[in-house]
Amino acid sequence: MPSRRMKTQKLSLVLAVSLLGCGYLQNLFPHQAPLDEDKSIVFPQFFEYDPVKLGAQGEPYELDGEMLRALAVASNDFLPSDDSDLPCPSRKEAQFYRVIRQGDIIFVYIYENHAYCGRKYPALDSGVKYAISTDGRILRRLFDGQPERPIEPQTPDDSGRWIRAEPGDTSGFDAIWEPQPDGGTDSSSPQSPTAPPPAENVRESLSSPH
Amino acid sequence: MNSTKQHLLVSLLFGLGCSSPKLADPHVWRPTSGQGAESIPGPLKNFGPFDSFSDALKAACPLILSKPNASVVHLQERDPELALRVSTEYCAWLYYTPEHKYELSMLTDVPLPGSALHGAASCLLPPNVDDPRYPPSSIKYIFLLHNHPFAGELSEVDINFTVAMANAHELVVEAGSRTISLSVVAFFSNSKDSQNPTCDGFYQYAPATRELLQWINTKGDWQKNKVGTVHWVSQTRFKIIRE
């Protein structure tokens, strides 16, 4: 019966995504604002791994109810309205939703799918992160640009970590922090990236000294 | 909430967000067409030009942070919801001209359309500068500037946008005798005095060096600290290694 099972899973996914997109879950899991945020919660990095794209290539995926509820709670908190007059970038379907589960916390990062609305680039600081408990409570919400840790105004000290320089000058750290006593090349230095850089021209520019 | 009420609420929120009577500010440019502008006008009148990008940054920091609600650190503890609602991001390009000067484009505070619904500050920076004095291809893009009203670090979206701009323009710019890495800068103030949002520093990321820097301004003495490195694993994956 694998084909029947597969069909059911596909149907479940389609139903789940449809419900999420159409906002019907808003009635099931009403909008809520965080009351007492747990500021000790540390968010994972959302771009460290390639995500498994749900719905891609027609493969079956299964989403459990807790995960679905976490997505619904986060999306309804960030974008509570499903009004058809909403500008495109503020619609639920115009976002990406990255989800990472760690123990009893489901972390969600919502950020704009600018291409969906025909835009070439995103807006600066247009995302928001949520930590949702498996029973559907918002434990923490962090908008882009908000500090993850409490702000403690820093003062440069003599620890050696600070360099006096003209503001904006990006040069100088590797020579101080990653000395190569034998004159060899540090494999992690910007001149020789160990991993593919984000763009072709990055690769070209980094491979030649400047 | 029935659909009519919901519709009215949404319309009201849009009205508040999109057409609230913001005071005209000669420094701030708001395109009438809403989203999707390809160019932002430059230069900013009565500002610059500068002989060095450092001088330009030192002047741009207090200018941007002096704009309404560019810093809400003073509100954060007292009324975090209000801080979120009023926080405003301003963004602009710092660019290099064929006359070997550094100029600032106009500022814009246009957020993502509809962001009034959730209150988060964002800024739509057009990818190009329109300086009528020069052909578009002669302008070199150095820094994309903005402010973080809550004084937080750079976001993943900031990092991705900067890489996109490095692809659209140049990763490393030859500016006269200098080689400068295109980078994103987020100014911040730690001041609890709403009338005096001091320029206390900025965060910076340059895709060419992969470094995340924090700059602190102590009465004109600028020092930088490497807070992390962005390790790109593929064109869409990156990991931030903190120091």
Model confidence pLDDT, tens digit, residues A9-53? 444 444 444 445 444 444 444 444 556 789 999 999 999 988 888
DSSP state of B168: H
A36 and chain B in contact, CB less than 8 A: no
B232 chain-A contacts, CB cut-off 8 A: 193, 195-198, 202
A209 chain-B contacts, CB cut-off 8 A: none
Give the CA radius of gyration of chain A: 22
Per-residue confidence (pLDDT) for residue A20, from 0 to 100 = 52
**B179: in domain:** yes
A171 and B209 within 8 Å at the Cβ level: the answer is: yes
A residues 87-106 near B, CB within 8 Å?
A: 87-90
Structure token pair of residue A71: 């997505």
Tell the burial category of B100 from Cβ atoms under 10 Å away from its Cβ (0-12, 13-18, 19+). exposed
Per-residue confidence (pLDDT) for residue A31, from 0 to 100 = 41
A196: nearest CB among B120, B224, B232: B232
Residue B18 pLDDT greater than 50, yes or no: no
- pLDDT above 70 covers what percent of chain B? 89
Which ipTM value was assigned to this complex? 0.87
**B199: in domain:** yes
Residue B181 pLDDT greater than 50, yes or no: yes
Q: For residue B144, give its domain range.
A: 38-242
**B18: in domain:** no
B218 and A156 within 8 Å at the Cβ level: the answer is: yes
Q: Sorting pLDDT into bands at 50, 70 and 90, what band is A173?
A: low
A24 and chain B in contact, CB less than 8 A: no
In degrees, to the nearest 5, what angle opens at C-alpha A93 toward C-alphas A92 and A98? 80
| pLDDT tens figures, A188-205 | 333 333 333 544 444 344
Residue B231 pLDDT greater than 90, yes or no: yes
**B6: in domain:** no
Structural domains in chain B (count): 1
B164 and A171 within 8 Å at the Cβ level: the answer is: no
Q: Sorting pLDDT into bands at 50, 70 and 90, what band is B34?
A: low
| pLDDT tens figures, A92-117 | 999 999 999 999 999 999 999 999 99
Closest approach of chain A CAs to the CA of B101, in angstroms? 16
**B26: in domain:** no
Q: What is the mean pLDDT of residues B82-96?
A: 95
A168-177, A195-204, B121-130: least confident range: A195-204
Per-residue confidence (pLDDT) for residue B243, from 0 to 100 = 87
**B31: in domain:** no
Q: What is the mean pLDDT of residues B133-157?
A: 96
Return all residues near B137 (Cβ < 8 A) that are at least 6 apart: none
User: Any idea which residue has 């639920």 for tokens?
Assistant: A92
Q: Which is more confident, B127 or A183? A: B127
- pLDDT above 90 covers what percent of chain B? 75
Which of A146, A151, A166, A204 to probe the B interface (max B CBs under 10 A)?
A146
Q: What is the pTM of this model?
A: 0.82
Query: What count of other Cβ atoms lies within 10 Å of the Cβ of residue B218?
Result: 12
A127-154 burial: b if 16+ Cβ within 10 Å, else e: bbbbbbbbebebbbbbbbbbbeeeeeee
**B30: in domain:** no
A47 and B223 within 8 Å at the Cβ level: the answer is: no
Per-residue confidence (pLDDT) for residue A84, from 0 to 100 = 85
Q: What is the mean pLDDT of residues A68-94?
A: 93
B36 and A201 within 8 Å at the Cβ level: the answer is: no
Residue of B nearest to A83 (CA): B7
Cα dist from B155 to A34, A128, A146, B127, B152, whole Å? 21, 10, 9, 18, 8
Which of B209, B215, B242, B243 to probe the A interface (max A CBs under 10 A)?
B209
What is the three-class DSSP state of B123? strand
B124 chain-A contacts, CB cut-off 8 A: 123-124
Tell the burial category of A202 from Cβ atoms under 10 Å away from its Cβ (0-12, 13-18, 19+). buried
Q: Which is more confident, A18 or B162? A: B162
Single-letter amino acid, residue B64:
I
Residue B217 pLDDT greater than 90, yes or no: yes
A residues 128-147 near B, CB within 8 Å?
A: 128, 143-147
A201 and B170 within 8 Å at the Cβ level: the answer is: yes
Q: What is the mean pLDDT of residues B15-44?
A: 74
Q: Dump the DSSP string for chain A.
A: -HHHHHHHHHHHHHHHHHHHHHTTHHHHS-----SS--TT--PPPSSSSPPP-TTGGG------HHHHHHHHHHHHHHS----TTS-GGGSGGGEEEEEEEETTEEEEEEEE-GGGGT-SSPPBT--EEEEEETTS-EEEEEETTS-SS--------SSS-EEE--TT---SHHHHHS--TTS---TTSTTS-SS--SSHHHHHHHHS--
A193 and chain B in contact, CB less than 8 A: yes
Give me the helices (H) in B20-52, please.
none
Report how far residue B30's alpha carbon sits from residue A13's, in angstroms, rounded to the nearest whole number: 42
Cα dist from B117 to A50, A95, A136, B7, B12, whole Å? 30, 15, 22, 13, 10
Which of B155, B214, B218, B225 to probe the A interface (max A CBs under 10 A)?
B155
Average pLDDT, chain A: 74
Closest C-alpha among A113, A112, A108, A30 to residue A74: A108
**B192: in domain:** yes
Report how far residue A129's alpha carbon sits from residue A141's, in angstroms, rounded to the nearest whole number: 6
A vs B: CB pairs below 8 A: 255
